[in-house]
């Protein structure tokens, strides 16, 4: 098959990989698919068990892109605490991620990204790289060719404004008085997804203060015209949404000049209290790096010195996002995923035949039970009467448990034979009731909030990067439906509404959109097992359409893959990409649930996983198969390449877990 070119990006569409032409005594073709699967399960199980922490959790590296590393250096420069060893280690990592054309991408094999390239370039200059060095000159030339700093996203220009490399007046206005808007007013802070909300509140303080630290060097080489670095941008028509919000922003700039000082000061102090109240026990905010960075800056601008307990804890938490590599490079994680990784690892090991009372599984269950959140968080603004009981994604994030983790933790706990079953049942009961209470009015589930679907936040000039709302998605809804079915609630009206939503959300070709994983393969791999667990027969038309789609997009090498470009260029890239272990696992999970164990597609997928497994029982996967914001922010979960292939192979060898009797229904909600 001849590769084609996507004219929008210049990227080459991958041909279906050719099947291997040679075999040896260890290949599936030589020893039989079933035997090869059993061998792969054994090796993968040993590998995953060896990676468990002594406390019972698993956590793989969470790799994103170099903007995390660049912004960490910019923060330290702004606070006056940037040290040479830190800058050197960060620069080592950033240089290693530069592409041949001088750019930086936001995912493996992706196109160069303007904002990421600008931020990486500035970070390397902070670390001492000369603008005349070949790798720097190549980057700056590419930046100028793409419009320079003026064409970068708002967040990049905010970072540059902190040092006078961009004018604050040429940025969208974010008034701190936003904190006073009641929840029934459009564009109140709870109209934003929790990740955006946690970022916007501290940025209102930064926007009001407009700080400028002396720039350590000029950046003229990143402007198309240094004499006019901020060219005029024409206004959109007033009758359009973009035009309306541009004019609102213009009015907010005018309001800044006349805003009562006492009101503004009070608003900033209220925002500061909001921030401090949401600082986690480990010093972080929301368990993710961006809100922590902006919260530290905002509080510092309000007079909190670096020795203040809140600031000290915040800075210490940021240090824990650093991953030090063997070559001395330092990578910053945007987030850490121990709860998510632990529940998925538990499911994988249980489905791969590890006994339900195995010490590793019991220890994992003990740790997960200790992570359940039993106090209200921001979600209770929309659900004030709902008792808490969810789980978060991270080590410390009590303010923002999420629906996806809660569903998967329940599924994981049900696979463990614990020495205190009453404790497990009580924890599961709280989790199920919380998830049921977080159902949106359309019958589906979002990740963190209820009915977080306002159309207005994404229209703001400030919000030009990534999703800022949290609408229901097929993958999260599927995980909840699967969990409810296992809990004996398949026929509960709330579960049936979720099933109906999923059936309506199916694409015409038989796939489902994947909001939190790449992409249609992930969505389909999540939904099909859930629908079957909830009682839909494998002969159901929706299941058969999904099976046909997965068969159609299977690569010639037997695996499945999907490139992140499917979020932007759906027609060309849906279900297309180099085969990966995690995505092959997702596809197999759907096909196995659909009763296709003995099909040629499943056999070839299992053969591919067995043949590509490394001697230590792991799989290699440089591709990004996790999603933060579709297209804009992508994630390589380093444990995905282990847990999903093992789950799929385990179900191939030992059968589907849905044959088990469902648990007693949890009442209430």
Q: Which residues are catalytic?
A: 404
Tokens of 348: 């994988």
* DSSP, res 61: -
**Length of the chain measured in residues:** 669
DSSP alpha helix (H) spans, 148-288: 154-161, 194-209, 241-258, 261-277
Cβ-proximal residues to 133 (8 Å cutoff; 6+ apart), any chain: none
Q: Would strands 5-6 and 11-12 be described as parallel, antiparallel, or unpaired?
A: antiparallel
Choose among 563, 480, 547, 566: nearest CA to 509: 547
Collapsing DSSP to helix, strand or coil, 324 comes out as strand
Measured between alpha carbons, how far is 291 from 193 in angstroms, rounded to an integer?
Answer: 13
Q: Would strands 633-637 and 626-629 be described as parallel, antiparallel, or unpaired?
A: antiparallel
**Cβ–Cβ contacts within 10 Å for residue 107, how many?**
25
DSSP code per residue over 231-242: ---PPPPTTSHH
Collapsing DSSP to helix, strand or coil, 658 comes out as helix
Measured between alpha carbons, how far is 213 from 192 in angstroms, rounded to an integer?
Answer: 30
Relative orientation angle of helices 403-413 and 421-437, to the nearest 10 degrees: 150
Q: Report CA-CA distances (Å) from 493 to 50, 439, 442, 474, 501.
A: 42, 12, 13, 18, 12
* DSSP, res 429: H
CB burial of 204-215 (b: ≥16 within 10 Å; e: otherwise) equals bbbbbbeeeeee
**Cβ–Cβ contacts within 10 Å for residue 128, how many?**
10
> How many angstroms from the chain centroid is the CA of residue 361?
26
Tokens of 3: 């590769």
Cβ-proximal residues to 83 (8 Å cutoff; 6+ apart), any chain: 76
């Amino acid at each position: 098959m001849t590769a084609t070119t996507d004219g929008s990006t210049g990227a080459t569409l991958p041909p279906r990989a050719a099947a291997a032409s040679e075999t040896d005594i260890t290949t599936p073709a030589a020893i039989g698919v079933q035997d090869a699967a059993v061998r792969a399960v054994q090796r993968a199980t040993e590998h995953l068990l060896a990676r468990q922490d002594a406390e019972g959790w698993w956590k793989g590296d969470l790799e994103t892109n170099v903007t995390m590393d660049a912004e960490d250096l910019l923060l330290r420069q702004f606070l006056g605490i940037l040290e040479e060893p830190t800058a050197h280690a960060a620069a080592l990592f950033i240089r290693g991620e530069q592409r041949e054309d001088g750019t930086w991408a936001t995912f493996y094999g992706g196109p160069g990204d303007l904002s990421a390239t600008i931020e990486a370039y500035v970070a390397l200059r902070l670390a001492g790289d000369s603008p005349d060095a070949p790798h720097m000159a190549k980057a700056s030339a590419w930046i100028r060719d793409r419009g320079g700093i003026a064409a970068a996203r708002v967040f990049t220009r905010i970072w540059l404004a902190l040092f006078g490399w961009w004018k604050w007046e040429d940025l969208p206005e974010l008034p701190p008085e936003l904190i006073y808007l009641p929840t029934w007013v459009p564009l109140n802070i709870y109209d934003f997804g929790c990740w955006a909300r946690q970022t916007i509140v501290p940025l209102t303080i930064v926007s009001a203060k407009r700080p400028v630290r002396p720039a350590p060097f000029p950046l003229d080489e990143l402007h198309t015209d240094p004499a006019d670095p901020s060219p005029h941008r024409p206004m959109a028509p007033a009758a359009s949404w973009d035009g309306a919000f541009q004019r609102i922003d213009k009015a907010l700039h005018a309001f800044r000049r006349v805003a009562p000082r006492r009101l503004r000061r009070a608003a900033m102090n209220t925002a500061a209290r909001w921030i401090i109240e949401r600082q986690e026990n480990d010093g972080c905010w929301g368990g993710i790096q961006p809100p922590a960075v902006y919260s530290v800056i905002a509080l510092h601008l309000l007079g909190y010195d670096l020795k203040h307990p809140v600031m000290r804890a915040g800075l210490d938490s940021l240090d824990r996002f650093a991953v030090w590599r063997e070559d001395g490079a330092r990578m910053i994680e945007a987030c850490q995923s121990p709860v998510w990784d632990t529940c998925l690892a538990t499911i994988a090991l249980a489905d791969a035949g590890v006994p339900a009372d195995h010490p590793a599984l019991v220890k994992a269950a003990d740790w997960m039970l200790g992570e359940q959140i039993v106090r209200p968080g921001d979600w209770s603004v929309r659900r004030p009467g709902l008792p808490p009981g969810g789980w978060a994604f991270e080590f410390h994030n009590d303010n923002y448990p999420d629906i996806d983790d809660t569903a998967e933790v329940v599924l994981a706990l049900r696979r463990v034979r614990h020495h205190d079953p009453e404790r497990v049942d009580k924890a599961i009961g709280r989790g199920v009731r919380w998830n049921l209470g977080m159902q949106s009015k359309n019958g589906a589930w979002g990740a963190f909030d209820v009915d977080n679907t306002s159309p207005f936040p994404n229209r703001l000039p400030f919000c030009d990067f990534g999703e800022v709302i949290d609408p229901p998605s097929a993958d999260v809804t599927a995980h909840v439906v699967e969990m409810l079915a296992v809990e004996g609630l398949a026929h509960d009206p709330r579960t049936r509404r979720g099933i109906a939503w999923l059936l309506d959300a199916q694409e015409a070709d038989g796939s489902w959109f994947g909001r939190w994983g790449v992409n249609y393969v992930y969505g389909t791999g999540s939904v099909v097992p859930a629908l079957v667990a909830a009682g839909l027969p494998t002969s159901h038309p929706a299941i058969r359409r999904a099976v046909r789609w997965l068969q159609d997009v299977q690569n010639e090498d037997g695996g499945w893959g999907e490139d992140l470009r499917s979020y932007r260029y759906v027609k060309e890239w849906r279900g297309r990409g180099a085969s990966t272990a995690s995505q092959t696992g997702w596809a197999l999970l759907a096909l196995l649930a659909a009763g296709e164990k003995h099909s040629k597609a499943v056999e070839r997928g299992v053969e591919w996983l067995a043949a590509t497994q490394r001697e230590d029982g792991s799989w290699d996967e440089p591709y990004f198969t996790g999603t933060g914001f579709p297209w804009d922010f992508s994630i390589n979960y380093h444990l995905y390449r282990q847990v999903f292939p093992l789950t799929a192979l385990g179900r191939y060898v030992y059968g589907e877990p849905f044959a088990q009797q469902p648990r007693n229904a949890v009442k209430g909600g």
